[in-house]
Amino acid sequence: MLSIISMVGVAISTMALVAVMSVFNGLEDLIRSIFASFDAELKVEPVKGKSFVATEEWLESIRTLEGVDILTEVIEDNALLEYRGNQQVARLKGVSENFLEQGRFSKGFFWGDTTLGTPLRPGAIMGRGLGFFLSVNLGEVNSSLKVYYPKAPRSAGSIDPNQLYTSAQIEPRAFFSIEQRFDNEFVIVPLEFARDLLNYGQKRTSLEIKVKKEYKIAEVQKNLVRHLGPDFLVKNADEQHAGLIRTVKLEKLFVFLTLTFILAIASFNIFFSLSMLAIEKKKDIAILKSMGAKDSLIRGVFLKQGAMIAFSGALLGLVLGFVVVWVQETFGLITLGISSGVVDAYPVRINVVDFVWISLAVVSITLLASWRPAWIASQVETVKEL
């Protein structure tokens, strides 16, 4: 009976490990998918400074590089927005016309015009939070969004306000909602609008690249690094948000260690179970020793008993954990309790590598817990017990 209880304890702990690790895998995938809705597959940035000169010949050499599908020029900087007297500092992101061709805003919500207007009537796509702060109404055609950008005064001591900033007007055409940071900070505008307002000329702050489907992102990234040289950084999706991805992985590691510690405590059931068995079977052990059984044989018997509990409990826990995760992944039974365009149920993903590490941890801990009772059993004194 104690062996069965021990096996059930191992199985429940293993199932919990599988479920929790799968949740962290799903969270990691969710973060990637959210960022992929706004960020590029590959992003080119300067090593020094915040901008670089991008001539048409240089850009064309990148467009014709093997594996490059779409190249989007980007001018990004902070600016002050004003709408009907409401003001808010935002992240102005000027992009070329093919920005939306990279599959942007595939997650979350998007409503309004899916274009950036025309050269005569440029349009802006705003984050929902930013639009809320400014009380923007897309239905008011005659209301425009004023954008201000500071500039150095032409002469020292100038008190003319027009010398301190440049300004332009743009029509808000759409809202997007992906993630709070993006929603509260970003406004997407045409590249020409940002270039003229910020007086960037041929300078760009970054390039965003979409890779052709038949090519691997890592291969194209290596080609870009060789082509651009040491003055530029080429970042994939994970590297653009390396800090957050690293944080999720660290949290996953610490949770794994914590649950493994709980599993170690639960393995005391095996320790007590085998200890009780060793006490009950003292006479049987003495008889075996009198028949010539060595201490190593006695230890092996008890270690095999512990191994049976460990492997059967681990196998049962892995199967139950797989079933629980599969049901959640397929049917989404456990929801977040909120309506979201990104995800409605807890995200999960099964990772074979996690199964391997969990199995190793479970078996190692349970076998370690079996060693002491096996050693005690091997020290039974034949003469005393008989």
Compute the C-alpha angle 225/231/235, nearest 5°.
45
pLDDT at 57: 95
User: What is the C-alpha R_g of the chain?
Assistant: 32
Between CA 101 and CA 97 the distance in angstroms is: 8
Residue 80's DSSP bridge partners are 89, 148
Between CA 154 and CA 166 the distance in angstroms is: 12
pLDDT at 339: 53
How far are the Cα atoms of 9, 61, 65, 102, 225 from residue 228, in angstroms, in the given order?
57, 10, 11, 22, 5
The 3-class SS string of 233-276 reads EEEEHHHHCHHHHHHHHHHHHHHHHHHHHHHHHHCHHHHHHHHH
Contact 28, 343 (CB under 8 A): no
Q: Report the half-sphere exposure of 279 (CA within 13 A, side-chain side).
A: 5
Domain boundaries, the chain: 2-33+244-385, 40-239
Grouping H, G, I as helix, E, B as strand and the rest as coil, residue 118 is coil
Distance of CA 196 to the CA centre of its chain: 36
Which residue in this structure is represented by tokens 């595939």?
106
Neighbours of 306 (CB within 10 A): 26
| Predicted confidence pLDDT, tens digits, the chain (386 residues) | 667 777 888 888 889 899 999 998 988 888 888 888 888 999 999 999 999 999 999 999 999 999 999 999 999 999 999 999 999 999 999 999 899 888 788 777 888 888 898 888 899 999 999 999 999 988 887 779 999 998 765 544 555 666 678 999 999 999 998 888 899 999 999 999 999 999 999 999 999 999 999 999 999 999 999 999 999 999 998 899 888 888 888 988 898 888 888 778 777 777 777 777 777 777 877 777 777 788 888 888 888 888 888 888 889 999 999 999 999 988 888 876 655 556 677 889 989 999 999 888 888 887 788 888 888 777 777 656 55
Q: Report the half-sphere exposure of 208 (CA within 13 A, side-chain side).
A: 26
DSSP string, 179-243: -HHHHHHEEEEEHHHHHHHHT-TTEESEEEEEEPTTS-HHHHHHHHHHHH-TTEEEEEHHHHTHH
Q: Do you know the residue count of the chain?
A: 386
Which residue in this structure is represented by tokens 């005393």?
384
Residue type, 255: V
- Taking Cα atoms as reference points, which of 302, 307, 321, 323 lies closest to residue 362? 307
pLDDT at 155: 47
Q: What is the pTM of this model?
A: 0.77
Contact 354, 334 (CB under 8 A): no
Between CA 30 and CA 33 the distance in angstroms is: 5
Between CA 315 and CA 11 the distance in angstroms is: 7
pLDDT at 119: 86
pLDDT at 258: 87
Strands (E), the chain: 42-46, 52-53, 68-83, 86-95, 109-112, 123-127, 145-150, 165-177, 186-190, 203-204, 206-211, 232-236
pLDDT at 60: 95
